[in-house]
Structure 1
Amino acid sequence: MAKKAVIITNIDKILFEKEMSQGKLAELTGLRPNTISEIVRDSRTVINKVHLARIADALDVDNIGQLLEIAYVEEEGGLVHNREGYIVLKPNAGTIERRAKRREDQQ
């Protein structure tokens, strides 16, 4: 089964850890709330570097690897496996939705 690399964001995890809402992040960055939502949901195909810098600054992140990661999509079934062994379910072509399930649970 062929695999394809995709970039997914970890911003939702960071927001949860910092107990911060997407609305507050939008306020701190000066970005539109819809822009933040699209970035967090991985529904954007392009992310502006200036936006990433503003988000990193607002979240006090100094390593781009904390915001983004590469995952691999199995072409059939839409499953994404990231480097930590988690599976990310891809419900449709426009959205990648995170699920906290270990790969072992799926086997």
Structure 2
Amino acid sequence: MKKIEVDTLIEGGHSMMNSVVIDTAKELSGAHFVVKLDELLKERGVTQKQLAEMTGMRVGTISEMVNGKGTTINKTQLFSIMAALKVTRLSDLYEVVLPEEMRKEYLMLKDEWVNERKMPLAVKEMYKKNVLKASGLSLD
């Protein structure tokens, strides 16, 4: 299992990514992107080379996925790996783990959003900030 800090992923992300996307992703600062593919291969007794042969993908691509390299995840490749390894949930391959306090806050906001059927104040504030930034305006 490989844990990669969200901040590290953002820093190494696509250079053409707009600042609103980056700033919104930074809301998850402290979270980790967890790559479980290496453990899954060990559990199944399958090498990266064998998985590449099973899926038609390059060994280098499998290696990048196992090591959490690259900036994008190709959904078709994920489906291919899921089919080859008979995986039923995406979370068996990858997972995002939030710090406990952030997880609790997000669950509370989600429940508020669902139960009251209106956007929580924290989300409204982020939305407003992002719309203003995207339009070239500022909050000041």
- TM above 0.5, one fold? yes
Gaps of 5+ in 1: 74-107
**1:13 aligned to 2:39?**
yes
**Alignment match of 1:49 (pick from 75, 80, 85):** 75
Deviation at 1:72, TM superposition (A): 5.0
**One-letter amino acid of the structure 2 residue matched with residue 32 of structure 1:** R
Distance in 2 separating the partners of 1:7 and 1:44:
13
Distance in 1 separating the partners of 2:71 and 2:79:
17
Residue aligned with 2:78, SS: helix
**One-letter amino acid of the structure 2 residue matched with residue 53 of structure 1:** F
1:1-107 alignment runs, 5 A limit: 3-72=29-98
Distance in 1 separating the partners of 2:43 and 2:89:
16
Gaps of 5+ in 2: 1-27, 100-140
Distance in 1 separating the partners of 2:94 and 2:43:
16
> RMSD of the TM alignment (CA)?
1.8
Q: TM-score with structure 1 length normalisation?
A: 0.61
1:45-66 per-position Cα deviation (integer Å, ceiling 9, x unaligned): 2110000000111110011111
**One-letter amino acid of the structure 2 residue matched with residue 60 of structure 1:** K
Going by fraction, where is helix more abundant, 1 or 2? 2
Distance in 2 separating the partners of 1:43 and 1:6:
14
Deviation at 1:8, TM superposition (A): 2.5
Going by fraction, where is strand more abundant, 1 or 2? 1
Residue aligned with 1:39, SS: helix
Distance in 2 separating the partners of 1:44 and 1:57:
22
Number of residue pairs the alignment of both structures matches: 72
1:9-41 per-position Cα deviation (integer Å, ceiling 9, x unaligned): 211001000111000000000000000000000
Residue aligned with 2:86, SS: coil
